[in-house]
Chain A
Amino acid sequence: MEETAVIASIKAGNVDAFTEIVESYQIPIVRYLYRLVGDEDIARDLAQDTFIQAYKGIKNTSRDLQLRPWLFKIATNNTRQYYRRKRILNFIPFVDHRTPEIPSQYRTKDIEENIDVRAALRKVPLNIRTCLVLHFVEGFKYREIASALGIKEDAVRMRVARGKDMFRHAYGGRRTQ
């Protein structure tokens, strides 16, 4: 079924049609959230909330709804809320530099690279990190990021550029340690 037909069917009251949407978007949404929050279980929970909110909200959307950016927008909002909750609950600052040392004899280049990339990404502030992940991991064009986040394309361009410098800096710092 075409995406628009699926959406129309859900609007007409066919709950099961939503399965198709979950099926097609679960991997990118969970991956996106995971890259933002760094924890698989939290990412899954946030993704679940995202789809449930999407289901509730989809009935009130206009006919020209762009589903993909819309879903990512909900996911991004959920992440923001998650961090807000966490800030309120946690008086202790979120420590993310404490990577456990894997005994060097068990490390491989790939594993190290992956750890370093993720750690460096976590050093980039959330609003900029969202742009980096959407562009480089999820393959969004700047225009699509702008629409997903509700910001101007120029702002996306600036955030991606700043994000690259921040990432480069953090990654270089880890590598030369």
Chain B
Amino acid sequence: MTVIRLGRMAGVVAVPLLAVGLYLGLFWAPEDAMMGQVQRIMYVHFPSWIAVGLSYLVGFVCSVVYLVRRNPRFDYMAQAGVEVGVLFNATGLVTGSIWGRPTWGVWWTWDPRLTTTAIMLVIFVGYLLVRAFLDDPDARGRVGALVAIMGFVTVPIVYFSVRWWRTLHQIQSSPNTVDHKMVVALRVMMVAFAAGACYLMSRRYEVARLEAVVEQIEYEPDTGAGGTRG
């Protein structure tokens, strides 16, 4: 139950912070000198990647712990981590693409970070797809964990390979050269997204746990509930 309670606390933190962060980013912080209003998408784009890192890390660590301990709760948490990670990964790519169109002139470019994160998305979508094909909960947890571990450790290699391949992405601005209002707004949004990711993961964890309960009832027709389904 602690996961649920911690998640709820994160949710209570996330919602007001998100509102405040959006206000700060969209109205309070100044417009970018070069890119104008378009740059404000940064307040959604960059925090998404914080949430991605956090969620995939949770997915990876819980996968390792699940393989060793075989406690299904870690599998639920791993699944929650990867699924929320995929969500924010897609958000990050879409917002990046929208930002890229007016600033770089293209929706997509083969830049190292874009390419790496796109490959990362494919790797972890693979995790979700494999799980969908496995009926036995133990096999699902085991195979999923192995796919997540192998996928996670590959990401640095992917990054280095694509970085040597080509580079175009803007170097992140150092906080010293940026208006402090922008920094404050971005920091608030980063915390809000991290807390939001924690909240979503805790909800997904709870759903996974309940799904497992339902699955168990359906597999045991003697208990009555599954009998009607045959």
A and B: bona fide binding partners: no
B residues with CB within 8 A of A: none
